[in-house]
Amino acid sequence: MNSQILKKRVAGFTLIEIMVASAVFSLFTAGLFAFYRMGSNMFLTGSWKLTRQKEAERFLSILKERIEQAANATSINPTAANQITVAPCPFLTLNNNTQIANITANRRIMVFTVAKPDTTYLNAANRGVIVYHCLMAVPAEKNLYTLHLHANTQDVAFGGVDYFNTTANFKPNPAVFTNFNTRFGNTPQNFGLGTVPYTYKLSDVASATISWGLANPAAVGGETDKVMGIKIRMQNPKHPETIVDHGVQAKLDMAVPMQPFALGGF
């Protein structure tokens, strides 16, 4: 009889043993979950960083290309009295070393014109084209914003955003040319400018710094270049410690006049 009772006691677990075992299991489970969560966060932040790096490279590559294509409106006709007719297309931008951060309203950063020359003296198909471009910062959540690079053959709103609604002059004077709309009414696709209108976007931007000036003549064989630069910092909205920095420099045609403004001033 006593031996049977003893066997039952040996075969069972005390309350203290169960509590200790539960505590150990809970710690193990918590550690396993923490390890999983850490791994998941590392994967997500790494994925965000890689994605934003690729997006920034693409976005800034397009911006660089468009800036270097900025030009005055030009008509060429060797048979005319004035063989080359030019209407200036000012390049509007922010003051040198201006930083765009913590914005609460849309802010224009650059407005410029990509113009391809009119050579209709050869034939009617050789018309030029005018494509207006705007680089704008549009506020988003958590003090971040999205950069919009918008292109359009018309200076009108698109997608609810007034990209070109500024009193500052950036368009060529149509009075300089006879039949301006016809002579510069070619299709942008014919010049590799894509289907217009279009808007390229870069999200999760925390800050951007605009800089510009003349390149050191000694470094370029005695020739002076007008250089535009932009440095961008992107920040992960869920993990603010994760950032991506990227920048680009582009040469601007020396013949294109530049007009600087304060942030929010144009």
pLDDT at position 64 is 98
pLDDT at position 174 is 94
pLDDT at position 37 is 61
Q: What CA–CA distance (Å, rounded) separates 48 from 56?
A: 12
Owner of token pair 């609810």: 160
Q: What CA–CA distance (Å, rounded) separates 121 from 188?
A: 20
pLDDT tens track for 5-35: 545 555 566 777 677 767 776 776 666 556 5
* Percent of the chain residues topping a pLDDT of 70: 84
pLDDT at position 112 is 98
How is 87-129 classified by DSSP, letter by letter? E---EEEEPTTEEEES-SS-EEEEEEEEEE-B-TTT-TT---E
Backbone angles phi, psi at 37, to 5 degrees: -65, -40
Q: What CA–CA distance (Å, rounded) separates 221 from 54?
A: 34
Nearest residue to 64 (alpha-carbon basis) of 259, 258, 231, 205 = 231
Output the average pLDDT for the chain.
Answer: 88
Nearest residue to 135 (alpha-carbon basis) of 148, 151, 154 = 148
pLDDT at position 239 is 92
106-120, 121-135, 203-217 — most confident range? 106-120
- 174 prior amide bond cis, ω within 30: no
Eight-state DSSP code of residue 104: S
Q: How many CB atoms lie within 10 A of CB 14?
A: 9
Q: ∠ CA(264), CA(49), CA(46), 5° rounding?
A: 155
Does residue 36 have a pLDDT over 50? no
Considering only 5-19, 54-68, 99-113, 145-159, which range has the smallest mean pLDDT? 5-19
Does residue 43 have a pLDDT over 70? no
Does residue 228 have a pLDDT over 80? yes
pLDDT at position 10 is 55
Per-residue three-class SS string for 127-176: CCEEEEEEEEEEECCCCCEEEEEEEECCCCCECCECCCCCCCCCCCCHHH
How is 70-89 classified by DSSP, letter by letter? B--EEEE-TTSSSSEEEE--
Q: What CA–CA distance (Å, rounded) separates 127 from 131?
A: 13
